[in-house]
Amino acid sequence: MTTTTMTLGRPSPWARIGLSEALFALLIIGGAGYTFSRYGKAMDGYELGILACAVPSLIALGWFWKPLRWLTVVVGACSLLAINLYVRQTDSFGADLAAAENVFLLKYMLSSQSAILWMGVLFYMSTISYWIGFARSGPKADGAALRIGSGLAWGAVVMALIGTFVRWFESHQIAPDIGHIPVSNLYEVFVMFCWMTTLFYLYYEQRYQQRSLGAFVMLIISAAVSFLLWYTVSRGAQEIQPLVPALQSWWMKIHVPANFVGYGTFAVAAMVGLAYVLKSASRNALLAGLVYVPGSILLALGAYWLLGNPDAGMQTAVVKTARLLGGLIVMFGVMIALRGPINARSPSLELMDDLMYRAIAVGFAFFTIATVLGAFWAAEAWGGYWSWDPKETWALIVWLNYAAWLHMRLMKGLRGVASAWWSLGGLVITTFAFLGVNMFLSGLHSYGEL
């Protein structure tokens, strides 16, 4: 037996490290060294710790999943190009952000706002391409339109990450006390939700060698992009704002991303659950679900309107939510009407069931970590680990929902259409915890109101 072979006859992990893996690792180490030499004096101890942990994490992820290597390289190169274009034009403080309107590449491609707008366009195009490919191919086929949809999704992830990193740089050029990692408001976290959810889906797409589910998953990404565009136009949310005191904490840098790993994977599981339900449930069960779930939400909104005496802002939120539900009812009604051809092209039930389980398991683990980190953050910001604030309460409800799902699957053998319906219901609960609390309730997390 050689040193690169385990006693069980399986190759050692070190045996898979070749020249490309070594070059990627050196590139990451070199990038971290450059970052430290350039910005190390501006980092506190926690930020230096995050940078140190990011190096082995990125290397391990790149070795684990090869597409992350070129993604890291492309995003890093384009982000550095954008920063270099900014610093060529300086004002009395640092880089002149007016360059975003004067430099061609920044104005049309690489400034944070331009990159995020490109992200939205590419996600819409990816959704359309996936559905064209879905309509033209069978469950095992891999047509050109599906491959184009996958490529466009990758492109959207690239632009989202470039926009995020460049926005981070831009925030530091406004004033010393404004710069922060862009995960502090709904605009920024929606961008993160889009690229993170898509990355998880693309990983499962490659793992299962099945692209047709992108037609379902990209629906929720496109819905998030639509919200992002509305939020930008109606609220000017793209403007970089100073952090409120509660957010001026290093906990934010790890709590929020961990939370959105959970949100993203739960969303993937729910959309796979939708495909599963369409394929396995009877038409009557689908129609009952179509009426019962949105109907219950509309009934709750009506009760809130009549009994809660909402102000004008709340009334607007209720009306917009009702309109959104109406649009979802129409969309799902069309899917039910076309379930025959849709089911003929969707993957096997066994594949979708396994994908749901894996996505929820990963999401639950990270959501648990995020909840614990949030408790530490609350203790630092407000003096207590738990205060039954509406956001905290609904986070606990989300956690209990998926804990029960996993318990029923692992201990009771829950499978099939019941688990798929449960996964879909979990998306409703998670969406309310993510957005509904901000729209209808107030509390210590009121800095996130719509």
266 burial level (CB within 10 Å; 0-12, 13-18, 19+): buried
Whether the predicted pLDDT of 2 surpasses 50: no
Model confidence pLDDT, tens digit, residues 46-84? 778 888 888 999 999 999 999 999 999 999 999 999 998
Higher pLDDT, 299 or 240: 240
339 vs 228: which has the higher pLDDT:
228
Q: Is residue 338 part of a domain?
A: yes
pLDDT of residue 193: 95
Residues 299 and 376 in one domain: yes
**Residue 308 and residue 448 in one domain:** yes
- Top mean pLDDT of 174-183, 365-374, 437-446 is at 365-374
In this structure, is the dihedral angle defined by the CA atoms of residues 436, 439, 445 and 449, taken in order, positive or negative? positive
Residues 221, 359, single domain; the answer is no
H-state helical runs in 281-431: 283-308, 312-337, 339-345, 349-382, 390-412, 416-431
- Compute φ and ψ for 208, nearest 5 degrees: -95, -5
Question: Poorest-confidence range of 45-54, 345-354, 407-416?
Answer: 45-54
Q: Which two tokens stand for residue 363?
A: 């999401």
Does residue 259 share a domain with residue 224?
no
pLDDT above 90 covers what percent of the chain?
A: 42
How confident is the model over 259-273, as a mean pLDDT? Answer: 95
Structural domains counted in the chain: 2
Mean pLDDT, rounded, for 310-332: 67
For residue 288, count other CB atoms closer than 10 A to its CB. 12
Residue 405 has pLDDT above 50, yes or no: yes
Q: Clarify whether residues 221 and 101 are in a common domain.
A: yes
The residue with greater pLDDT, 99 or 405, is 405
Final residue of a structural domain among 204, 238, 272? 238
368-385 average pLDDT score: 86
Going by pLDDT thresholds of 50, 70 and 90, the confidence category of residue 433 is: confident
150/130 Cα distance (integer angstroms): 8
In one-letter notation, the amino acid at residue 145 is A
Q: Same structural domain for residues 141 and 229?
A: yes
Q: How many alpha carbons fall within 13 Å on the CB side of residue 118?
A: 23
- Judged against a pLDDT cut of 90, whether residue 242 lies above it is answered with no
Residue 332 in this model has a pLDDT that exceeds 90: no
Q: Are residues 288 and 232 in the same domain?
A: no
**195 and 283 assigned to the same domain:** no
In this prediction, residue 310 carries a pLDDT of: 59
Contact 402/360 with Cβ under 8 angstroms? Answer: yes
Domain membership of residue 170 as a residue range: 88-238
Q: Which residue in 331, 297, 328, 301 sits closest to 316, CA to CA?
A: 301
